[in-house]
Structure 1
Protein backbone atom coordinates (compact mmCIF):
# COMPACT_ATOMS: atom_id res chain seq x y z
CA UNK A 1 0.00 0.00 0.00
CA UNK A 2 1.43 3.38 -1.03
CA UNK A 3 0.86 6.44 1.11
CA UNK A 4 0.76 9.82 -0.58
CA UNK A 5 3.63 12.06 0.41
CA UNK A 6 2.68 15.05 2.54
CA UNK A 7 4.41 18.41 1.92
CA UNK A 8 5.86 17.95 5.40
CA UNK A 9 6.33 14.27 6.20
CA UNK A 10 5.00 13.46 9.69
CA UNK A 11 7.19 11.77 12.26
CA UNK A 12 6.76 8.07 12.97
CA UNK A 13 5.61 8.60 16.53
CA UNK A 14 3.05 11.22 15.51
CA UNK A 15 0.78 8.32 14.52
CA UNK A 16 0.84 6.98 18.05
CA UNK A 17 -1.37 9.88 19.12
CA UNK A 18 -4.14 8.52 16.89
CA UNK A 19 -6.72 6.88 19.21
CA UNK A 20 -7.43 3.84 16.96
CA UNK A 21 -3.70 3.13 16.86
CA UNK A 22 -3.56 3.34 20.66
CA UNK A 23 -6.31 0.69 20.75
CA UNK A 24 -4.23 -1.47 18.40
CA UNK A 25 -1.17 -1.09 20.62
CA UNK A 26 -3.25 -1.93 23.71
CA UNK A 27 -4.25 -5.14 21.94
CA UNK A 28 -0.58 -5.82 21.22
CA UNK A 29 0.18 -5.40 24.93
CA UNK A 30 -2.54 -7.93 25.78
CA UNK A 31 -1.03 -10.31 23.25
CA UNK A 32 2.45 -9.87 24.69
CA UNK A 33 1.08 -10.66 28.16
CA UNK A 34 -0.67 -13.73 26.73
CA UNK A 35 2.61 -14.96 25.22
CA UNK A 36 4.48 -14.24 28.46
CA UNK A 37 2.02 -16.18 30.61
CA UNK A 38 1.75 -19.01 28.09
CA UNK A 39 5.51 -19.49 28.28
CA UNK A 40 5.34 -19.46 32.08
CA UNK A 41 2.53 -22.01 31.98
CA UNK A 42 -0.03 -19.66 33.59
CA UNK A 43 -2.59 -20.50 30.94
CA UNK A 44 -5.62 -18.88 32.57
CA UNK A 45 -3.86 -15.50 32.44
CA UNK A 46 -2.83 -16.20 28.85
CA UNK A 47 -6.47 -16.82 27.90
CA UNK A 48 -7.54 -13.49 29.39
CA UNK A 49 -4.83 -11.71 27.41
CA UNK A 50 -5.85 -13.43 24.18
CA UNK A 51 -9.53 -12.55 24.44
CA UNK A 52 -8.84 -8.92 25.39
CA UNK A 53 -6.52 -8.63 22.40
CA UNK A 54 -9.52 -9.40 20.19
CA UNK A 55 -11.58 -6.80 22.04
CA UNK A 56 -9.03 -4.06 21.40
CA UNK A 57 -8.65 -5.20 17.79
CA UNK A 58 -12.37 -4.72 17.22
CA UNK A 59 -12.31 -1.42 19.15
CA UNK A 60 -9.74 0.21 16.90
CA UNK A 61 -11.99 -0.14 13.85
CA UNK A 62 -15.06 1.10 15.71
CA UNK A 63 -13.19 4.13 17.05
CA UNK A 64 -11.74 4.90 13.61
CA UNK A 65 -15.19 4.91 12.01
CA UNK A 66 -16.52 7.27 14.69
CA UNK A 67 -13.66 9.77 14.48
CA UNK A 68 -13.80 12.76 12.20
CA UNK A 69 -10.88 14.50 10.56
CA UNK A 70 -8.68 11.44 10.07
CA UNK A 71 -6.63 11.71 6.87
CA UNK A 72 -6.09 9.03 4.25
CA UNK A 73 -2.58 8.59 5.60
CA UNK A 74 -3.96 8.06 9.11
CA UNK A 75 -6.23 5.30 7.83
CA UNK A 76 -3.49 3.70 5.73
CA UNK A 77 -1.01 3.70 8.61
CA UNK A 78 -3.63 2.26 10.96
CA UNK A 79 -4.43 -0.47 8.48
CA UNK A 80 -0.79 -1.47 8.18
CA UNK A 81 -0.31 -1.43 11.94
CA UNK A 82 -3.42 -3.55 12.43
CA UNK A 83 -2.22 -6.19 9.97
CA UNK A 84 1.20 -6.49 11.59
CA UNK A 85 -0.30 -6.79 15.07
CA UNK A 86 -2.80 -9.41 13.82
CA UNK A 87 0.07 -11.69 12.81
CA UNK A 88 1.36 -11.59 16.38
CA UNK A 89 -2.06 -11.79 18.07
CA UNK A 90 -3.65 -14.50 15.96
CA UNK A 91 -0.63 -16.35 14.59
CA UNK A 92 2.28 -16.15 17.02
CA UNK A 93 0.36 -16.09 20.34
CA UNK A 94 -1.74 -19.22 19.65
CA UNK A 95 1.36 -20.95 18.27
CA UNK A 96 3.30 -20.20 21.46
CA UNK A 97 0.35 -21.49 23.49
CA UNK A 98 0.38 -24.80 21.60
CA UNK A 99 4.17 -25.18 21.93
CA UNK A 100 4.16 -24.29 25.62
CA UNK A 101 1.35 -26.69 26.48
CA UNK A 102 3.21 -29.34 24.50
CA UNK A 103 6.20 -28.64 26.78
CA UNK A 104 8.12 -27.34 23.78
CA UNK A 105 8.47 -30.80 22.30
CA UNK A 106 9.86 -30.29 18.76
CA UNK A 107 6.79 -32.02 17.26
CA UNK A 108 4.71 -29.01 18.26
CA UNK A 109 6.87 -26.80 16.07
CA UNK A 110 5.01 -28.34 13.14
CA UNK A 111 1.67 -27.00 14.34
CA UNK A 112 3.25 -23.66 15.27
CA UNK A 113 4.79 -23.22 11.82
CA UNK A 114 1.52 -24.12 10.09
CA UNK A 115 -0.43 -21.68 12.26
CA UNK A 116 1.93 -18.72 11.82
CA UNK A 117 2.35 -19.40 8.10
CA UNK A 118 -1.42 -19.55 7.60
CA UNK A 119 -1.83 -16.25 9.46
CA UNK A 120 0.80 -14.54 7.30
CA UNK A 121 -0.67 -15.94 4.07
CA UNK A 122 -4.22 -15.09 5.12
CA UNK A 123 -3.34 -11.48 5.95
CA UNK A 124 -1.29 -11.04 2.78
CA UNK A 125 -4.25 -12.27 0.72
CA UNK A 126 -6.62 -9.93 2.53
CA UNK A 127 -4.29 -6.96 2.04
CA UNK A 128 -4.34 -7.66 -1.69
CA UNK A 129 -8.00 -8.52 -2.31
CA UNK A 130 -9.91 -7.22 0.71
CA UNK A 131 -13.43 -8.41 1.43
CA UNK A 132 -15.13 -10.66 -1.12
CA UNK A 133 -17.94 -8.61 -2.61
CA UNK A 134 -17.15 -5.94 -0.03
CA UNK A 135 -18.99 -7.92 2.65
CA UNK A 136 -17.33 -11.26 3.47
CA UNK A 137 -13.87 -12.59 4.24
CA UNK A 138 -12.33 -15.31 2.14
CA UNK A 139 -11.22 -17.87 4.70
CA UNK A 140 -11.92 -17.84 8.41
CA UNK A 141 -11.01 -14.44 9.85
CA UNK A 142 -8.00 -14.72 12.15
CA UNK A 143 -9.62 -13.19 15.22
CA UNK A 144 -11.79 -16.30 15.39
CA UNK A 145 -8.63 -18.30 16.17
CA UNK A 146 -8.21 -16.68 19.58
CA UNK A 147 -11.92 -16.74 20.36
CA UNK A 148 -12.05 -20.47 19.62
CA UNK A 149 -8.83 -21.27 21.49
CA UNK A 150 -10.00 -19.59 24.70
CA UNK A 151 -13.28 -21.54 24.46
CA UNK A 152 -11.57 -24.87 23.82
CA UNK A 153 -9.12 -24.30 26.65
CA UNK A 154 -12.04 -24.01 29.08
CA UNK A 155 -12.29 -27.83 28.88
CA UNK A 156 -8.61 -28.39 29.61
CA UNK A 157 -9.19 -29.84 33.08
CA UNK A 158 -11.42 -32.58 31.66
CA UNK A 159 -8.46 -34.17 29.85
CA UNK A 160 -5.09 -35.59 30.76
CA UNK A 161 -2.30 -33.17 29.89
CA UNK A 162 -0.89 -35.28 27.04
CA UNK A 163 -4.34 -35.75 25.49
CA UNK A 164 -5.23 -32.08 25.65
CA UNK A 165 -1.88 -31.15 24.12
CA UNK A 166 -2.95 -33.17 21.07
CA UNK A 167 -6.35 -31.43 21.13
CA UNK A 168 -4.62 -28.04 20.98
CA UNK A 169 -2.30 -29.27 18.22
CA UNK A 170 -5.24 -30.40 16.10
CA UNK A 171 -7.26 -27.27 16.89
CA UNK A 172 -4.42 -25.08 15.65
CA UNK A 173 -3.90 -27.07 12.45
CA UNK A 174 -7.64 -27.19 11.65
CA UNK A 175 -8.03 -23.45 12.23
CA UNK A 176 -5.00 -22.78 10.03
CA UNK A 177 -6.62 -24.80 7.26
CA UNK A 178 -9.84 -22.81 7.62
CA UNK A 179 -7.89 -19.52 7.61
CA UNK A 180 -6.52 -20.21 4.13
CA UNK A 181 -9.59 -21.98 2.75
CA UNK A 182 -12.02 -20.54 0.20
CA UNK A 183 -14.96 -20.46 2.61
CA UNK A 184 -16.70 -17.10 2.94
CA UNK A 185 -17.30 -15.75 6.44
CA UNK A 186 -19.10 -12.53 7.40
CA UNK A 187 -17.29 -9.50 8.79
CA UNK A 188 -18.49 -9.52 12.39
CA UNK A 189 -16.49 -6.63 13.83
CA UNK A 190 -18.47 -3.93 12.03
CA UNK A 191 -21.85 -5.00 13.39
CA UNK A 192 -22.86 -3.27 16.69
CA UNK A 193 -24.83 -6.35 17.80
CA UNK A 194 -21.77 -8.55 17.35
CA UNK A 195 -19.69 -6.04 19.30
CA UNK A 196 -22.04 -6.41 22.27
CA UNK A 197 -21.81 -10.20 21.96
CA UNK A 198 -17.99 -10.00 21.96
CA UNK A 199 -18.08 -7.69 24.99
CA UNK A 200 -20.23 -10.21 26.86
CA UNK A 201 -18.03 -13.10 25.75
CA UNK A 202 -14.90 -11.24 26.87
CA UNK A 203 -16.43 -10.52 30.26
CA UNK A 204 -17.52 -14.15 30.78
CA UNK A 205 -14.14 -15.51 29.69
CA UNK A 206 -12.30 -13.04 31.92
CA UNK A 207 -14.41 -13.97 34.95
CA UNK A 208 -14.07 -17.70 34.24
CA UNK A 209 -10.29 -17.69 33.92
CA UNK A 210 -9.89 -15.00 36.57
CA UNK A 211 -11.65 -17.28 39.04
CA UNK A 212 -9.17 -20.04 38.18
CA UNK A 213 -6.31 -17.69 39.05
CA UNK A 214 -7.62 -17.11 42.58
Structure 2
Protein backbone atom coordinates (compact mmCIF):
# COMPACT_ATOMS: atom_id res chain seq x y z
CA UNK A 1 0.00 0.00 0.00
CA UNK A 2 1.37 3.44 -0.91
CA UNK A 3 1.98 5.70 2.06
CA UNK A 4 2.47 9.43 2.30
CA UNK A 5 5.86 10.81 3.25
CA UNK A 6 6.59 11.78 6.85
CA UNK A 7 5.99 15.43 6.06
CA UNK A 8 2.56 14.60 4.68
CA UNK A 9 1.49 11.98 7.23
CA UNK A 10 -1.72 12.61 9.12
CA UNK A 11 -2.34 16.03 7.55
CA UNK A 12 -5.97 16.17 8.65
CA UNK A 13 -8.68 14.12 10.31
CA UNK A 14 -10.44 11.33 8.46
CA UNK A 15 -13.68 13.26 8.29
CA UNK A 16 -11.83 15.99 6.38
CA UNK A 17 -11.35 13.57 3.48
CA UNK A 18 -14.79 12.00 3.83
CA UNK A 19 -16.34 15.42 3.20
CA UNK A 20 -14.69 15.58 -0.24
CA UNK A 21 -17.52 15.54 -2.82
CA UNK A 22 -16.24 12.56 -4.86
CA UNK A 23 -15.87 10.58 -1.62
CA UNK A 24 -19.42 11.50 -0.59
CA UNK A 25 -20.51 10.09 -3.95
CA UNK A 26 -18.48 6.93 -3.26
CA UNK A 27 -20.19 6.57 0.12
CA UNK A 28 -23.59 6.96 -1.55
CA UNK A 29 -22.61 3.99 -3.72
CA UNK A 30 -21.67 2.08 -0.56
CA UNK A 31 -25.14 2.79 0.84
CA UNK A 32 -26.70 1.40 -2.35
CA UNK A 33 -24.54 -1.72 -2.06
CA UNK A 34 -25.57 -2.11 1.59
CA UNK A 35 -29.22 -1.87 0.53
CA UNK A 36 -28.47 -4.52 -2.08
CA UNK A 37 -27.14 -6.81 0.65
CA UNK A 38 -30.10 -6.02 2.91
CA UNK A 39 -32.72 -6.79 0.28
CA UNK A 40 -30.85 -9.87 -0.91
CA UNK A 41 -30.91 -11.31 2.62
CA UNK A 42 -34.64 -10.56 2.74
CA UNK A 43 -34.87 -12.35 -0.64
CA UNK A 44 -36.36 -9.29 -2.26
CA UNK A 45 -34.07 -9.83 -5.23
CA UNK A 46 -35.53 -7.20 -7.52
CA UNK A 47 -34.87 -4.45 -4.99
CA UNK A 48 -31.42 -5.93 -4.42
CA UNK A 49 -30.71 -5.58 -8.15
CA UNK A 50 -31.87 -1.95 -8.05
CA UNK A 51 -29.46 -1.25 -5.18
CA UNK A 52 -26.62 -2.96 -7.03
CA UNK A 53 -27.11 -1.07 -10.30
CA UNK A 54 -27.23 2.29 -8.51
CA UNK A 55 -24.01 1.34 -6.72
CA UNK A 56 -22.43 1.07 -10.18
CA UNK A 57 -23.80 4.47 -11.16
CA UNK A 58 -22.30 6.18 -8.11
CA UNK A 59 -19.04 4.31 -8.68
CA UNK A 60 -18.83 5.86 -12.13
CA UNK A 61 -19.98 9.27 -10.92
CA UNK A 62 -17.31 9.69 -8.24
CA UNK A 63 -14.52 9.48 -10.81
CA UNK A 64 -16.23 11.96 -13.12
CA UNK A 65 -16.71 14.42 -10.27
CA UNK A 66 -13.10 13.99 -9.11
CA UNK A 67 -11.73 14.70 -12.58
CA UNK A 68 -13.85 17.84 -12.96
CA UNK A 69 -13.05 19.31 -9.55
CA UNK A 70 -10.20 21.78 -9.30
CA UNK A 71 -7.87 22.17 -6.37
CA UNK A 72 -7.86 18.54 -5.23
CA UNK A 73 -4.47 17.56 -3.82
CA UNK A 74 -2.50 14.32 -4.22
CA UNK A 75 -3.66 13.41 -0.73
CA UNK A 76 -7.30 13.76 -1.80
CA UNK A 77 -6.65 11.58 -4.83
CA UNK A 78 -4.81 8.90 -2.86
CA UNK A 79 -7.47 8.78 -0.16
CA UNK A 80 -10.24 8.72 -2.77
CA UNK A 81 -8.56 5.89 -4.66
CA UNK A 82 -8.26 3.77 -1.52
CA UNK A 83 -11.85 4.48 -0.49
CA UNK A 84 -13.15 3.69 -3.96
CA UNK A 85 -11.30 0.37 -4.05
CA UNK A 86 -12.59 -0.72 -0.64
CA UNK A 87 -16.14 0.22 -1.58
CA UNK A 88 -15.78 -1.70 -4.86
CA UNK A 89 -14.98 -4.78 -2.79
CA UNK A 90 -18.30 -4.42 -1.00
CA UNK A 91 -20.33 -3.42 -4.06
CA UNK A 92 -18.94 -5.92 -6.55
CA UNK A 93 -17.59 -8.66 -4.28
CA UNK A 94 -19.55 -9.01 -1.04
CA UNK A 95 -22.92 -7.85 -2.38
CA UNK A 96 -23.16 -10.29 -5.34
CA UNK A 97 -21.79 -13.10 -3.14
CA UNK A 98 -24.58 -12.51 -0.61
CA UNK A 99 -27.06 -12.28 -3.49
CA UNK A 100 -25.95 -15.70 -4.78
CA UNK A 101 -26.08 -17.27 -1.32
CA UNK A 102 -29.55 -15.91 -0.63
CA UNK A 103 -30.87 -16.92 -4.04
CA UNK A 104 -29.63 -20.43 -3.28
CA UNK A 105 -31.48 -20.30 0.08
CA UNK A 106 -28.08 -20.27 1.80
CA UNK A 107 -27.40 -23.83 0.74
CA UNK A 108 -23.82 -24.99 1.48
CA UNK A 109 -23.54 -25.80 -2.24
CA UNK A 110 -23.57 -22.07 -2.95
CA UNK A 111 -20.72 -21.25 -0.55
CA UNK A 112 -17.96 -22.18 -3.05
CA UNK A 113 -19.55 -19.88 -5.62
CA UNK A 114 -19.75 -17.02 -3.14
CA UNK A 115 -16.10 -17.56 -2.25
CA UNK A 116 -15.11 -17.48 -5.93
CA UNK A 117 -16.93 -14.16 -6.39
CA UNK A 118 -15.26 -12.54 -3.37
CA UNK A 119 -11.83 -13.98 -4.21
CA UNK A 120 -11.99 -12.93 -7.85
CA UNK A 121 -13.00 -9.42 -6.77
CA UNK A 122 -10.13 -9.16 -4.26
CA UNK A 123 -7.58 -10.44 -6.78
CA UNK A 124 -8.81 -8.17 -9.55
CA UNK A 125 -8.93 -5.04 -7.39
CA UNK A 126 -5.45 -5.76 -6.01
CA UNK A 127 -4.10 -6.23 -9.53
CA UNK A 128 -5.72 -3.02 -10.72
CA UNK A 129 -4.40 -1.04 -7.73
CA UNK A 130 -0.86 -2.11 -8.63
CA UNK A 131 -0.88 -2.13 -12.43
CA UNK A 132 -3.87 0.02 -13.40
CA UNK A 133 -5.20 0.12 -16.96
CA UNK A 134 -3.38 -1.31 -19.96
CA UNK A 135 -3.86 2.10 -21.54
CA UNK A 136 -6.23 5.03 -21.03
CA UNK A 137 -9.26 3.11 -22.28
CA UNK A 138 -8.51 -0.60 -21.84
CA UNK A 139 -8.83 -2.97 -18.89
CA UNK A 140 -7.18 -6.33 -18.43
CA UNK A 141 -10.17 -8.63 -17.96
CA UNK A 142 -13.83 -7.77 -17.47
CA UNK A 143 -14.32 -4.89 -15.03
CA UNK A 144 -16.26 -5.86 -11.90
CA UNK A 145 -18.94 -3.23 -12.40
CA UNK A 146 -19.77 -4.79 -15.77
CA UNK A 147 -20.83 -7.94 -13.91
CA UNK A 148 -23.67 -6.02 -12.29
CA UNK A 149 -24.62 -4.24 -15.51
CA UNK A 150 -24.94 -7.56 -17.33
CA UNK A 151 -26.62 -9.49 -14.53
CA UNK A 152 -29.19 -6.75 -13.89
CA UNK A 153 -30.43 -7.27 -17.45
CA UNK A 154 -30.32 -11.07 -17.32
CA UNK A 155 -32.34 -11.13 -14.09
CA UNK A 156 -35.26 -9.53 -15.92
CA UNK A 157 -35.95 -12.98 -17.38
CA UNK A 158 -36.09 -14.76 -14.02
CA UNK A 159 -39.85 -15.30 -14.36
CA UNK A 160 -39.35 -17.53 -17.41
CA UNK A 161 -37.74 -20.22 -15.24
CA UNK A 162 -38.56 -22.04 -12.04
CA UNK A 163 -36.63 -21.05 -8.93
CA UNK A 164 -34.30 -24.05 -8.92
CA UNK A 165 -33.53 -23.73 -12.61
CA UNK A 166 -32.72 -20.04 -12.40
CA UNK A 167 -30.57 -20.56 -9.30
CA UNK A 168 -28.37 -22.86 -11.41
CA UNK A 169 -28.32 -20.27 -14.19
CA UNK A 170 -27.41 -17.55 -11.69
CA UNK A 171 -24.62 -19.68 -10.20
CA UNK A 172 -23.22 -20.41 -13.66
CA UNK A 173 -23.37 -16.77 -14.79
CA UNK A 174 -21.50 -15.54 -11.72
CA UNK A 175 -18.80 -18.19 -12.19
CA UNK A 176 -18.35 -17.32 -15.87
CA UNK A 177 -18.09 -13.63 -15.00
CA UNK A 178 -15.51 -14.38 -12.28
CA UNK A 179 -13.37 -16.18 -14.87
CA UNK A 180 -13.71 -13.23 -17.25
CA UNK A 181 -12.79 -10.80 -14.45
CA UNK A 182 -9.42 -12.54 -14.07
CA UNK A 183 -8.85 -13.39 -17.72
CA UNK A 184 -6.17 -11.74 -19.91
CA UNK A 185 -8.88 -10.59 -22.33
CA UNK A 186 -8.77 -6.87 -23.04
CA UNK A 187 -12.04 -5.01 -22.46
CA UNK A 188 -12.92 -1.35 -23.01
CA UNK A 189 -13.21 1.16 -20.19
CA UNK A 190 -16.57 2.90 -20.54
CA UNK A 191 -16.39 6.54 -19.56
CA UNK A 192 -17.43 10.00 -20.69
CA UNK A 193 -20.81 9.97 -22.40
CA UNK A 194 -21.28 6.33 -21.43
CA UNK A 195 -22.20 7.63 -17.97
CA UNK A 196 -25.42 9.07 -19.37
CA UNK A 197 -26.20 5.74 -21.01
CA UNK A 198 -25.68 4.06 -17.63
CA UNK A 199 -27.89 6.65 -15.93
CA UNK A 200 -30.65 5.97 -18.45
CA UNK A 201 -30.16 2.21 -17.98
CA UNK A 202 -30.36 2.49 -14.18
CA UNK A 203 -33.52 4.61 -14.30
CA UNK A 204 -35.23 2.28 -16.80
CA UNK A 205 -34.33 -0.84 -14.80
CA UNK A 206 -35.51 0.81 -11.59
CA UNK A 207 -38.86 1.56 -13.21
CA UNK A 208 -39.17 -1.96 -14.66
CA UNK A 209 -38.27 -3.72 -11.44
CA UNK A 210 -40.49 -1.35 -9.47
CA UNK A 211 -43.40 -2.10 -11.80
CA UNK A 212 -42.75 -5.86 -11.47
CA UNK A 213 -42.90 -5.55 -7.69
CA UNK A 214 -45.99 -3.33 -7.79
CA UNK A 215 -47.83 -5.70 -10.15
CA UNK A 216 -47.26 -8.58 -7.70
CA UNK A 217 -48.46 -6.59 -4.69
| TM-score, reference length from structure 2 | 0.95
Match of 1:135 among 134, 137, 140: 137
Q: CA–CA distance in 2 between the matches of 1:172 and 1:87?
A: 15
Residues 4-50 of structure 1: per-residue CA shift (max 9 Å, x gap): 44376211111111000000000000000000000001111111100
Match of 2:80 among 78, 81, 94: 78
Q: CA–CA distance in 2 between the matches of 1:211 and 1:154?
A: 12
Q: CA–CA distance in 2 between the matches of 1:158 and 1:11?
A: 52
Match of 2:50 among 48, 51, 59: 48
**Residue 157 (structure 1) aligns with:** 159
**Residue 91 (structure 2) aligns with:** 89
Q: CA–CA distance in 2 between the matches of 1:75 and 1:8?
A: 15
Q: 1:94, 1:149 within 8 Å by CA — same for their partners in 2?
A: no
Larger mean Cα displacement after TM superposition, 173-182 or 142-151: 142-151
Q: 1:123 aligns to what SS in structure 2?
A: helix
What's the CA shift for 1:2? 2.2
Compared CA separation, residues 7 and 87, structure 1 to 2 (3 A): closer
Larger mean Cα displacement after TM superposition, 145-154 or 118-127: 145-154
What's the CA shift for 1:191? 2.1
Return structure 1 stretches of 4+ with deviation > 6 angstroms: none
**Residue 177 (structure 1) aligns with:** 179
Q: 2:117 aligns to what SS in structure 1?
A: helix
**Residue 104 (structure 1) aligns with:** 106
* Structure 1: tracts of 5 or more residues without a match: none
**Residue 17 (structure 1) aligns with:** 19
Q: 1:107 aligns to what SS in structure 2?
A: helix
Q: 1:26, 1:56 within 8 Å by CA — same for their partners in 2?
A: yes
**Residue 207 (structure 1) aligns with:** 207
Q: CA–CA distance in 2 between the matches of 1:134 and 1:211?
A: 39
What's the CA shift for 1:93? 0.7
* Structure 2: tracts of 5 or more residues without a match: none
**Residue 123 (structure 2) aligns with:** 121
CA RMSD of aligned residues (A): 1.1
Q: Does 1:191 align with 2:210?
A: no
